[in-house]
Amino acid sequence: MKQAYYLQQLEEELVVALGCTEPVAVAFAAALARKEAGYDEPIEGIELQASVNIYKNAMGVFIPGTSDMGAAMAAALGAVAGDPSLNLQVLQHIRETDIIEARSLCARGKVSLDIAPKGTPSLYINVVVRTKNHNGRATVAWKHDLITELARDDEKTFINDTSQIQELTDSITVDDLRDIWDFAMAVDVDKLDLIRQAVLLNDRIAERGMANADGLEVGRSIAKSCRAGRAVPDKDSFSLSDYCAAWTAAASDARMAGVSLPVMSNSGSGNQGITVTVSVLSASRYLGSTEEQLLRAQTLSHLVAIHVKKSFGRLSPLCGATAAAVGASAGIVMLLGGDIERVIAAVQNMFGTVTGMICDGAKLGCSLKVSACIYSAVQAAVVAMQGKEIAPTDGVIECDVEETIRNMERISKEGMGRMDDLLLNIMLNKKKEVVE
């Protein structure tokens, strides 16, 4: 059993982040560039080059701690007040005066945006910060927090060895769901502190979203329709699917609204981390599972989500919540007492249900997509527990679930090759923020 390998996957793909990871990654790069330029002189200009997906996912989501959106504002905030030592929590300590200064830079046209050059990775951010006498540059690529180059006054100060770095799809060898199941069933739970942290962080933001009128209030709306007058969701008045969807959507509501609480991301996305974690946590509470059962189900769901996300790509035209919800369905099957055959059936059922949901950028409406995916995840798990799964004669489904996953890779890369460009074009026609 590849225990060290799967523990490393969890270590690499479960990362704490404050705010939507695309604008936060821009802020991280800008903070690094500002550090290279030095802090002695005022900022005179910021130049941002980024891949299409970065702009798409930054345009409609609130930057944590602000009422602002967009890659330009994220770059300005990172340069003005970001702490690069905090990684994807770079904006943790911003103040109102910092927000005002960043808005001023944007309003005065001091932040320029451009599309990344052809041939760069699908996740690519390059920021130059200019002061009167100096300039600093930082490049982040492949992963939201992976620094590839730093420079001061056009001289490189750091070069990462990227010879072994590849896209998410190619970066990890082919897994098998059975191997993941075996690991989740056998791993010493004392080695799962990262999973415990994911539960703690993502539960906290779910509580916040359920208690406050954040975003579209999708979670609260589901809860209000079921709670029979109670102040908080009560499993006695909920179905399993309503209970899981309400809590998970509430966490997404808060995160998309820019609430300044960190979450544990999965495969570079906070919403994916929320979708995987909160749904399985809610199911465990609904079913009365033990802590060990919860930790093993969480481990299974996170690793299945990572496995599926490899087929989509780290940033993809396909909605990442669907990949995460496939993982959630596996974890819920485990909590329901199912075996690996039932897990495979649930995964097949999910691919036959949510295939084709597109990502049209991070935004408040993501919580609706999250809730829809969780409803599908619970249904897929429940149907699988009855010994039923979508037949390989149907659509994208193959006899071998790994072949089904490979079909998803083809859909994402061959079938939707120009989808991101089209979506960004549509979005730019509605927004003042222009990428030249």
Give the chain's domains with CATH numbers.
17-165 (3.30.1330), 170-426 (1.10.4100.10)
Asked whether the predicted pLDDT for residue 402 surpasses 90, the reply is no
Q: What is the mean pLDDT of the chain?
A: 91
Is residue 197 within 8 A of residue 226, CB to CB? The reply is no
Whole-prediction pTM: 0.90
Asked whether the predicted pLDDT for residue 170 surpasses 60, the reply is no
pLDDT, one tens digit per residue, over 126-169 is 999 999 999 999 999 989 999 999 999 999 999 998 765 655 44
Going by pLDDT thresholds of 50, 70 and 90, the confidence category of residue 404 is confident
Q: Where are the alpha helices (DSSP H) in 259-290?
A: 270-287
Q: Largest alpha-carbon pair distance within the chain?
A: 69
Residues 173-187 have a mean pLDDT of 87
Over pLDDT 90: what percentage of the chain?
A: 72
Chain centroid offset of residue 61 CA: 13
pLDDT, one tens digit per residue, over 29-58 is 999 999 999 999 999 999 999 999 899 889
User: CA-to-CA distance for 75 and 64, rounded, in angstroms?
Assistant: 13
pLDDT, one tens digit per residue, over 342-355 is 999 999 999 999 88
Over pLDDT 70: what percentage of the chain?
A: 94
pLDDT, one tens digit per residue, over 316-362 is 788 889 999 999 999 999 999 999 999 999 999 999 998 888 888 88
Describe the crossing of helices 3-13 and 193-211 by its angle, rounded to 10 degrees.
30
